[in-house]
Structure formats: structure tokens, C-alpha cells
Chains A and B, each alone.
Chain A
Amino acid sequence: MTVVTPTDLTVGDPYPNKCYLPFILYPPGMHRVPDGSEWLHSHIDLEQQGSDFTLYIGIPFCRTRCKSCPYFASLLSENDPKGREEQYVDALVKDILRWGSTRKFSTGLLRNIYIGGGTGSILKTHNLRRIVDTVFATFQVADDYEFTLEGNARDYDDEKIDYIVSSKINRLSLGVQSFQPEILGVIGSPHAAEDSARVIRAFQSRGFHNIQLDLMFNMPGHTLDIWRRDLETLAGLDIPHFTIYLYRIHKETIQNKLILKGKVERPKDPESPMVKAMYREAIEIAESLGYSMYMVDHFCKPGYENMYNHWNWKVYVDTLAVGPGSYSYFDGYRFGTETDVEKYVRLAQEDKPLISTVTEELSPRVQRERYIIFALLYYEIEYSFYESKFGTSFLEDFADEIGRLVRKGLVEVLDDRMKLTKLGLVWHTNVILEFFNPAFWGDAESLNEPNWSLNGVMVEVGAHARSHWLGEDDVTFYPPIPDAEATEAGDV
């Protein structure tokens, strides 16, 4: 391999391959357990005094599955002749009540609640009400709680909007993706182009303003011109929070098949001039409108940060996740509930949890790695907070990793914190991979374990040798990754 010396900084890249991850889960490697109930009771002390925690409630249903969606979802018919929605919510309520009957969660303080999926908003209004009421009747909820309902504009009629505005749900997250009909059709979104703006305005007219929306860029057929129109529409909606996601083609999806068969245009290379311009313009427009990018790809007006992420990743509290396809984290374990909705319902009726895959108990070192990996989404690690959390020194615990990052110009070590540089932000995912435990690299075995949502993507990253993403420890810079689509500049 040709080694580029630091004097060639302007032409060298810090890593041999750039990693893109839409979402981060750590540690990725998990193994199945035959009896989740037995595992829970033998590994977790549910009668201990509780502490701060967040609650994720997964709604596993969608009206249609977006064509490159890597998440688990079960199609739910609007007429629902078998009553699947009612059965599911019955089970969910029982599951929440069962967790709430433990000392750990009845004495803990619930900081933040998030209904996601699938599609949280797909539920009928009376079922949303049952869930909200159950949460507040079961747990001690912090006075300054935040309660987000995630979903899709297609699901909102006046009755549901009126309920939400009057309920304890105080934040809405809409998967908008684009405001352009031609793009929404190609990616298979369930809503029509005009739905998002209609629903946002309906909420705002009722005094409900805490709304987040998710946009995607570099979708098939997406051009800089269309992206600019999306950003202009966004600007006109006056919402306080939005995210931008690079569209990804996940291997086992219908979108990948359609692309391979020439029916859908392949998205541009993420390193192409057009995609870089899309990202740059989004940041410029956001800043000109008074948003700040307070965490990677998340923009908000002052005071509107996503507090669910804040509690989970920055404050780093326990996460209780209920519903198929969800992952919890507490007492040093990650554990997941598989995607079988009917099995989840059946076990809930038997008053048992569905726990399907677990990690080994995370060592103190891995727990610290996990904290850093998530906290770096906010660009920095504060030494004093780290020490208050773990009782040790960040600079000492990760001296080797920090040294490499400094050498590559990816972080700055300041008096009170370590901070990503601009280059570090560009290579953000590779930077966090520096904190992966060496024992987790080359883990091809976990590819054979059940994984869902984006855990599979994380497992694929970890199945590589460390050197694939991070190179060799004694090499600082690599030849630049070829700009595969420099010739596409004409498409911009």
C-alpha cells in the first residue's frame, strides 16, 4: 500500500475507506436466547431501586414499506379485518404494565418517551390514547418530560390531530423525505406530496409547534434543483427541528432489485460533487434560517433539541424499549425483541417478555466505548462529565485512540473537552469506529444471528477487519479515495 506522508495532507485521506451509517447501535454483536423470560430474571435485578430512563414504544405496522427501508415493518390493512391493531395494543399495554410493576421501573424516573416504528401515527386515535394513558398511569414521569410521536402525514385526520394537541404528546416527528411527488413515488413513501405541509399547518394552527421533520437527499432521480425546492418548502413551514439523511440502498430491498433491473435510477455516489453540494447547501440554508446543526445531521432552532437522543446518548441513561423489533439497554446489557408480532402478542398474554437476542454483559470498557460512540454525535466529549459517569479519565482510558485522531487532524484536545475538527466531522463515522472494541472486529459469526432494524448494518460493519475501515495504526494518511463520479459534475 502506498503511504502518503503528512506533508501530502491536502491530497491524503485519514482512512482507506469511508464508512456511512444511518444510525448507530453498539455493541452490534448479539446472540439469541432460547428463553428470554428466564434470561431476564437471571441477569437483571428488577427489584433494584430505579434510576432515570427513557421509554421507546415500537409500533410495528406500516401501510406500505418504503422501497429501501431497512427497518422491520408489518403491513397493516386499513380495514384490519382480523383486529391486529387492537390485539397489538392490548399486548403493548400489558407489556408496559408488566415492566411498570417491577421496582426498577416503578421507582425510576421516566425522562422521555418516544413512539416510533414502523409508523407510530398509524394507530387509531383511541389506541394512541390508551398507550399515552397507560404510560402516565404506570411510570413516574419527569415534569419536564418530552413525548414524541413519530409517523407519517398520511395518517392524520382532524380527529387525531385534535387528540394529539390536547394530549400529553408534546412533540411530533414526521417522515417527510421530500415534498416532491415524483421523488416520493420512486422511494415508495406512503404519503402524497401535499400531505406533509397540510398536516404541519393543521398542527400549527392549533398552537402545536414542536414538530420535527426528516428529509432525505440523494434519492433516485434527486437533483440539486429538486433538493433546493425541498429546502425552500422547509423554510416556508417554520418548524423548529429537522434532520437530513443520506438515502441509502440497502441490499435486501426491492429498491436494490429495481435498480439492478434498470427500473430505477441508481443514486449518485455519496462522494460525488452533487451530493456534497446537497449537504453543503442544506447546512448553509439551515444556518441562514437560524438553525444550528447541534448534532450530526440534526438541525434545530434554540431550545428545540431532540431530548430523546439527548437523554439516551449524551446523558446516557437506561433505555426501556417495548414492542417487536426494538432494543433495550440497561444494567450493562443490550437486548432485543424480535420482529414476530404474533409471538409478541402471545407472550404478552402469558405475561412474559419477548426477549430474543442479547449481548454479553458489557465490560466497563465497552460501556465507556458505547458512551463515546454516541456522545460524539454531539461532536465532543467533556472530560468532567465522562469522569462523573465512569470514575476514570477519558484522556487516560483512550490515549491511543485520541493520539491517532490527533495525528490525523480529526480531533482537537482542549483543556476541558475533546472536539471533532471540521475534517473529523467529514469522517465522523470512521472516527467513532476508532472507539470500537478490538474484540468486535472481524465478527462474521454475528452475521448469522438474528438482526433487525439497523443492527444488521452495524454487524456488517463489524464483520470487516478493523484495517478495512481504519487502516493500520502506523499509517496516518492514505491516497484519496477516488472521486468515482467526478465526471458527474455535469449532472449538478
Chain B
Amino acid sequence: MSDTQKFVAAATVTVDALTHDIWAVWVDVNAWKNWNPGIDTVRMNGNFKQGTTISLTPSGGEQLEVVITEVAQGEYFTDETHLPFGVIRNHHRMEKVGDRVQITHEVVAEIGEEHVALFAKAIWPALQGDTSVGVLNIADLVGND
């Protein structure tokens, strides 16, 4: 891993919502566009479980294959995309905080040294921005506030 550089961004929102409602929004992959502004088209190829692939076209980009790598129903899931310049992992988790629920989306990109400059300039700002906007959009969809 010495020849890669890690980019990490996370956004958290605490909302008056039910965990199963948040989960229902997460697992409806074909409707991720409802809350993630960085997606042009998306389609899940099977059930929402570990190993299932997702065909996703980011806004202004080419279609990618995303793999669901971890699933704990009602708690968290992770997806992973392997790209020529590195790997991007999205960790989505929720946690009860009193009567409310904390929703976190963390994106971790491991980028090859030779691609770092271009990634930092051309891709990372949008990924960071979409992460923040995404959790706020989910909170807006599921919240009772």
C-alpha cells in the first residue's frame, strides 16, 4: 500500500427517523439518485447482499461496476469500486443515539501515487461534496423533523 495515497471524507447527520426507513432507502439501489446527486443511472443486479454487483454511471462519467462487500441489515453496508487509478469504498452506517439516528457516509479512496494529482483535482472534490449532500438528502427523505 506504500504506493497509494488515501483520501477520506465523512459526513454525519442525526435525524428523528426509524432505522428501518433509512434501511429501506439504502437498499432501494435503483433509486439512489433520489439522494445521491453524483449518480446518473444505477441498477442493482440481484438482491441487496454481499457480492451483488451494481451497474452505476456517475454524472458525466462512464458506467462502473460497484460491488456490495459488507451488509449488516439495519446497521451498515459497504460498497467498493475498482478503477484503473485505485479503489473507492463507501461505508454507510447508522446508529441509534437516544431517540434519534445518526447516519454516516464515509468515502475512502485509495489512489495510486501516479494518479493522485489528477484525482485530487478532478474527482475528489465532487465525491466529497456528494457525500455531504447525500446524507442531508437521506435525512430529508426519512426524517420527521
The interface residues of chain B lying within 8 Å CB-to-CB of A182 are 30
| A30-68, CB < 8 A from B | 63-67
In the bound complex, CA of A191 to CA of B27 (Å):
11
Q: Quick check: B142 and A77 within 8 Å, CB to CB? A: no
In the bound complex, CA of A65 to CA of B74 (Å):
10
The interface residues of chain B lying within 8 Å CB-to-CB of A186 are 28, 31
A481 contacts the other chain (CB 8 A): no
A188 contacts the other chain (CB 8 A): yes
Q: Quick check: A64 and B72 within 8 Å, CB to CB? A: no
The interface residues of chain A lying within 8 Å CB-to-CB of B19 are 75
Q: Place the interface of chain B in its size category.
A: 20 to 34
Determine how close the nearest CB of chain A comes to the CB of B53; give it in whole angstroms. Answer: 12
B116 contacts the other chain (CB 8 A): no
B7 contacts the other chain (CB 8 A): no
The interface residues of chain B lying within 8 Å CB-to-CB of A251 are none
- In the complex, identify which listed stretch (A105-113, A255-263, A319-327, A367-375) lies at the interface while the others stay far away: A255-263
Determine how close the nearest CB of chain B comes to the CB of A42; give it in whole angstroms. Answer: 35
Determine how close the nearest CB of chain A comes to the CB of B72; give it in whole angstroms. Answer: 4
Q: Quick check: B31 and A65 within 8 Å, CB to CB? A: no
Q: Across the two chains, which residue of chain B brings its CB closest to A190?
A: B47
Q: Quick check: B31 and A78 within 8 Å, CB to CB? A: no
Q: Quick check: A254 and B47 within 8 Å, CB to CB? A: no
A-B Cβ contacts below 8 A, count: 72
Contact residue among B24, B47, B48, B71 (Cβ-Cβ distance under 8 Å from A67): B24
In the bound complex, CA of A263 to CA of B25 (Å):
11
Q: Quick check: A188 and B24 within 8 Å, CB to CB? A: yes
The interface residues of chain B lying within 8 Å CB-to-CB of A253 are 21
In the bound complex, CA of A73 to CA of B73 (Å):
12
Q: Quick check: B23 and A258 within 8 Å, CB to CB? A: no
Determine how close the nearest CB of chain A comes to the CB of B71; give it in whole angstroms. Answer: 7
Against A, the Cβ 8 Å flags (1 = close, 0 = not) of B11-25 are 000000011110111
Q: Quick check: A75 and B74 within 8 Å, CB to CB? A: yes
| B96-145, CB < 8 A from A | 140-142
In the bound complex, CA of A190 to CA of B44 (Å):
12
In the bound complex, CA of A182 to CA of B71 (Å):
22
Q: Quick check: B47 and A185 within 8 Å, CB to CB? A: no
Known A185-B31, A192-B46; contact A254-B25, beta-carbon cutoff 8 A = yes
The interface residues of chain A lying within 8 Å CB-to-CB of B30 are 182, 185
Known A64-B23, A64-B48, A195-B47; contact A188-B28, beta-carbon cutoff 8 A = yes
Q: Quick check: A77 and B75 within 8 Å, CB to CB? A: yes
The main secondary structure of chain A at its interface with chain B is: loop
A154 contacts the other chain (CB 8 A): yes
Q: Quick check: B24 and A77 within 8 Å, CB to CB? A: no
B91 contacts the other chain (CB 8 A): no
Determine how close the nearest CB of chain B comes to the CB of A340; give it in whole angstroms. Answer: 15
The interface residues of chain B lying within 8 Å CB-to-CB of A75 are 19-20, 23, 73-74
Q: Across the two chains, which residue of chain B brings its CB closest to A187?
A: B28
| A47-99, CB < 8 A from B | 63-67, 73, 75-79, 81
Against A, the Cβ 8 Å flags (1 = close, 0 = not) of B21-62 are 101110111110010000000001011111000000000000
Q: Across the two chains, which residue of chain B brings its CB closest to A65?
A: B20
Q: Quick check: B31 and A254 within 8 Å, CB to CB? A: no
Known A64-B48, A79-B72, A190-B48; contact A263-B20, beta-carbon cutoff 8 A = no
Q: Quick check: A78 and B73 within 8 Å, CB to CB? A: yes
In the bound complex, CA of A35 to CA of B46 (Å):
46
Q: Quick check: A154 and B47 within 8 Å, CB to CB? A: yes
The interface residues of chain B lying within 8 Å CB-to-CB of A261 are 140-141
Known A75-B74, A77-B75; contact A263-B141, beta-carbon cutoff 8 A = yes
The interface residues of chain B lying within 8 Å CB-to-CB of A192 are 46-47
The interface residues of chain B lying within 8 Å CB-to-CB of A254 are 18, 20-21, 24-25, 141-142
Q: Across the two chains, which residue of chain A brings its CB closest to B72?
A: A77
Chain B residues within CB distance 8 Å of chain A:
18-21, 23-25, 27-31, 34, 44, 46-50, 71-75, 140-142
Chain A residues within CB distance 8 Å of chain B:
63-67, 73, 75-79, 81, 154, 182, 185-186, 188, 190-192, 195, 253-254, 257-258, 261, 263
Q: Known pairs A73-B20, A191-B47; list 14 more (Cβ under 8 Å).
A: A64-B48, A67-B28, A77-B72, A78-B72, A79-B72, A185-B28, A185-B30, A186-B31, A190-B27, A192-B46, A257-B21, A257-B141, A261-B141, A263-B31
